[in-house]
Amino acid sequence: MIIGIDFRPLAGNDQKLVAAAVKKLATLPDLESAFLLGKDATDEAADPIPATAKLSRLQFFNTGISDKGITNLVRLKKLQQLNSTGMGLTDVGMKELAKIKTLQVIIITDAGILALQELPDLRRLTIDPLEATQRLIDRLRETLPKLTNGEYFLK
């Protein structure tokens, strides 16, 4: 089951309203995948994402979610895939992502990619845009033998 919440119609509203909408996802015990869309989906909206037994995929498209919001995802013990676009993720957030040992697929910008060496089950990594050097990519491949798929988008 995929649930998507487009927060663009709520643009300019109180962030608590957006967070309240996300909190309602907890009423869906079979929730497997959720995506949040829009700049009004911020760290406050990431906090109430439910740690349901089946939630394995999260997608953040052009959100205002930063390192702080990513830190809140560590409690999602079944999370296998994360797609996060936007400018809020830095090296700090990448180190937090590396704590989620169940992650297998990550689609992100290139901030702090070496922190992902802590994810032994990582199989696919998409970096957009690629500003990392080939040396960094090679280091990841050396330490992550399961990382067999990747996509690189050059500027």
First to last CA, the chain: 35
Looking at the whole model, is its pTM more than 0.75?
A: no
The enclosing domain of 15 has a CATH number of 3.80.10.10
For residue range 117-141, what is the model confidence (pLDDT) as tens digits? 888 888 887 775 555 566 667 777 7
Strands laid side by side in the 2-6 sheet: 2-6, 33-37, 57-61, 81-84, 105-108, 124-127, 149-152
Per the structure, how many domains does the chain have? Answer: 1
Parent domain of 122: 2-152
Residue 83, amino acid: N
